[in-house]
Chain A
Amino acid sequence: MPHTTRRILLGTAAAAGLNLPSIVKAQGKEAIKIGSALPLTGSQAGYGKDFDTSMRMGAKDVNDAGGIAGRPVEIVALDTQAEPQLGINAANRFIGVDKMPMFYVSWSAVVKAVAPIANREKVLAINNGANSPEIATLGDYVYTTFPLADVDITKLAKYMYGPLGKRRAAVLYINNDTGIDAAKIYRDTFTQAGGEVVAFEAYDPKATEFTGMLLKTRAANPDTVHIHGLTADTPQVIAQMRQLGMTQRISSYSAAYNPKLLEQIGPAAEGLIVTSLAPGLNDNKNVQKLLDEWKAAQNRVPNGLPYNQYQYDMVWLTKALYEYLDKKSVAPSGDSLREALLTIKEFDLPMTGKMIIDGHRVNKPVYLLTVDKGAFVPLATLT
C-alpha cells in the first residue's frame, strides 16, 4: 500500500503542481473556480481520486492555452465519499461559500441528493459520471454530460440479444441507485427484444458472499449474465461465479472497464463485455495525450479511462460556456450558464469528441470492449 500511498501523494502533488506554472502564466486575474464533488475517500475513492486528477490535467491544459477568457481556472474538489449527505455539504459549500454559479457532480445517489439544492438556488449542477436514468428528471438546473444508463445499457442489451444471439439472461445488480435503475433497463430492453430474463437478483452493497444468489442464478440456466455492480463487488461476483462452474458470457458496464479487475480475477474475466462511453485510442488520437500525462504523473493508466476522459473534458466545456457568455457580455449565473449550455448545444471536446445536449440527456456512441488474453480489446461500436 505505501507504494500506492506514495504514488497518490506524488500524484496529488504533481497534479497540484501541474496547475501552478499555468496559473502563473494566466495573467494574475481572478481565477474561475470549478466545483467538483467527488468521492476522494471511501470505497469509491479509487475512481474519485483519479477523476480529480484528470480534471486537474484538463485545467492545466486549459490554463496553458490561455485560460478561460484570459482568466485562469482553479479546481475546487470536495469529498463526497459517494454519500448523499456529504454531497449536500459539498453543494452548499460551492454555492454558499464559493458563490459558484455551476458545479460538477458524480455518483447517482449524490447527484440526486444535490439536485433540490441546485434547483432551489438556481445553480447549474452538471452530472459528469453518474448514469442513473432518473438524473434526466431531477429538475431545471440539473443536466448531464455523461450518457445515462438508458444509452449504453439499452444498446448493450440489444447487442446481447441480436449479434450475440443470447436468449436467456440473468441480471445481478447492486441494490442501490447505480444498480436498480440500470438493471430494470437491461431487463426491459432484453425482454422487449424477445429474450427472457430468467433471474433478476439484487445484492446488498456490503455483501461479500454471493454463492446463494449465484446458485439460484445457475439453477435458472441463463446463457448470459449481466452484472451491474461497483468496483468493489463486481470482481468478487465474477470470481465466485466462475468458481461455481458458471461459464456464461458476462456483460457489465463502464465501471467494470477497470485494469484492477483484470488483476484481481485474471482468467475469470476472459470474455467479459464492458461498455465505454468515450472513444478509445483507435477512435481519438487525443486519448494518448491523456494517457501520457497519466504516465508522467502517476506511472499508470487511470481507473475507468472513459470516465476520466469526461472529467478532463469538463474544464473545456466550462471554457466554452464562460467564453460564450463573455462574448455576449453576460455575467455567469446558473440561468445564463444553462442558457449557454442549451444554446450552444453541440460541443466538440478533446477527449470524448462531439457531444450534443439533448434536453436533460446526452446521446453518444457506445463502445463495447471485451477481455481477450487478459486485456480489454474493442468488440463493437454501437451508434
Chain B
Amino acid sequence: MLDPVILAQILWTGIATSAPYVLMTAAFALTLKVTGLWNFAQAGLMAIAFYTMFFVIDALGLPLVFALLAGVVVTAAASLLIEIYGLQVFRDRGSGSLTFFIFTLILSEFIIYVLTLLFGTEPETLFKSILSPVTIIGNIAVSDWDELAVTTAIIGMAALYVFLTWTREGQFMNAVADNARLAELYGISAKRAWRVTAVVAALFVVAAMYLIGTHGGVVPNSPLELIITAVIGTLLGGIGRVFAASAAAVFLGLLQSFSILIIASRWQNLLLYGVLFAAILLFPRGVRMPRWRLILAGR
C-alpha cells in the first residue's frame, strides 16, 4: 500500500473528490462570514439545485446547458426568497441566533420533504451513466470527472477571490462582514450585500451539486449529510475565513482518503464526525496557521 503510485492515486482522487466539498464549503462559509448566520437552509438549496437540473435533463430532455441555467436561476431565486422573506424578517424582529438556526434547519427539512414527495427517494444521477472516461497519466488514473471537478473548484475559488477583492460588490460584502452598522454609515447597503451573498452562494451550490450528481446517486436527504463537511470545514478554517474553510474541506477529503492506509474502509465516514468533535472542542475559532509575513519580519 505504500507504493508511490498508490499514494499518488489516493492523493489525486482525494483532491478530486473534495472539489465539490470545496464549493459547498465556500458557499456555507461565505454566508456565515457576511451574514453572521449558520445557514443550514443551504442543504435545502443543494437539494433544489440538484433536482432542478435533474428535472430539466430527465423529464424535459433538454441539454445540459439548460439544466445548469435552470439550476442557477431556480436556486438563486430560492436563496433570495429565503433571504428576503425569511432571514430579513427575523432580523427586522431582532430575533436571536437560535431562531435563525431553527428556521434554516426546519426550512431545509421542509424543502427535502417536498422534494421527496415530488421525486421519490430512489438514488438519482444527473445522467444515466456514472462512468467517466479515464486517462492514465504517469500510472495515475485521471477521469474526466476528476479533471472537471478540480478545474471547477479552482476556477470557482479564483473567481470568488477576484470578486471579493476587486469588485465593489465584493468589497461591500467584506465591509458588511466586518461591521454591518458601520458599513451602513458609509452608505453601504447591508441588505444588498446579504442578497448578493445569497446569489453568489447559490452559484457555488449549483456547481457543487452538478459535480456530486454526475459522480453518484443523490436522494433528497443527501444534502443534509453532505453539509456536515461544509460545517466541519468552516469550523476548522475559522469563522470569516472562506478560503481557509475551503482548504479545510480539501484536508478533510484527503484525511478520509489516506485513512484507508491505517483504518478499515468502513470507518472512513466515522472519521468525519471525529474531526467535527475535535474541531468543536479544540478549535472553536478554527485552526490558526502561522502568519508568515510577521514571522519573516521578525515579529
Residues in chain A within 8 A of chain B (CB atoms): 1-5, 8, 41-43, 45-46, 81, 175, 201-204, 206-213, 215-216, 218-219, 231-232, 235-236, 239, 242-245, 263-268
Contact = CB atoms under 8 A, between A and B. Distances in A.
A43 B265 contact: no
Contact of A264 (B58, B125, B264): B125
Interface string B127-157: 0111110101000010100000000000000
Choose among A212, A219, A232, A268 the residue with the greatest number of B CB atoms under 10 Å from its CB: A212
Contact of B265 (A1, A206, A207, A235): A207
A21 to B, nearest CB: 28
Interface stretch (B1-9, B97-105, B169-177): B1-9
Nearest to B118: A5
A2 B52 CA distance: 11
B123 interface: yes
Contacts of B130: 235-236, 239, 264-265
Contacts of A266: 129, 131
27 contacts: A1-B51, A1-B59, A1-B118, A1-B120, A2-B58, A2-B59, A4-B58, A5-B119, A42-B121, A43-B122, A45-B122, A203-B266, A204-B265, A204-B270, A207-B268, A211-B257, A212-B256, A212-B257, A212-B258, A212-B260, A212-B268, A213-B260, A215-B9, A219-B3, A235-B130, A236-B130, A268-B131
Nearest to B115: A1
Closest 7 CB pairs of A and B: A212-B260, A213-B265, A2-B59, A211-B13, A202-B266, A175-B266, A204-B269
Contacts of A208: 215-217
Nearest to B225: A206
Contact of A210 (B217, B258, B265): B265
A224 to B, nearest CB: 19
A201 B10 contact: no
A212 B265 contact: yes
B8 to A, nearest CB: 10
Interface class of chain B by DSSP: helix
B88 interface: no
B131 A265 contact: yes
Interface string B38-59: 0000000000000100110011
Interface of B: 1, 3, 6, 9-10, 13-14, 17, 51, 54-55, 58-59, 116, 118-125, 128-132, 134, 136, 141, 143, 215-217, 219, 225, 256-261, 264-270
B131 A216 contact: no
A211 B17 contact: yes
Given A2-B59, A41-B120, A215-B1, A206 B269 contact: yes
B120 A45 contact: yes
Contact of B123 (A204, A232, A243): A232
A218 B3 CA distance: 12
A215 B131 contact: no
A268 B134 CA distance: 12
B176 to A, nearest CB: 36
Contacts of B215: 208
Nearest to A173: B266
A243 B17 CA distance: 14
Contacts of A3: 58-59
A45 to B, nearest CB: 5
Nearest to B57: A1
B265 A215 contact: no
Contacts of A218: 6
A236 B217 contact: yes
Nearest to B5: A215
A219 B10 CA distance: 13
Contacts of B124: 1
A257 to B, nearest CB: 17
A243 B119 CA distance: 30
A207 B269 contact: yes
Contacts of A204: 265-270
B131 A243 contact: yes
Contacts of A232: 123, 217
A46 B122 contact: yes
Contacts of B129: 263-266
B116 A1 contact: no
Choose among B51, B58, B123, B132 the residue with the greatest number of A CB atoms under 10 Å from its CB: B123
A243 B146 CA distance: 11
Contacts of A81: 121
Contacts of B259: 212
A243 B54 CA distance: 24
B268 A43 contact: no
A209 B141 contact: no
Contacts of A4: 58, 120, 122
Nearest to B136: A245
Contacts of A216: 1, 260, 265
A125 to B, nearest CB: 25
Choose among A175, A209, A218, A263 the residue with the greatest number of B CB atoms under 10 Å from its CB: A209
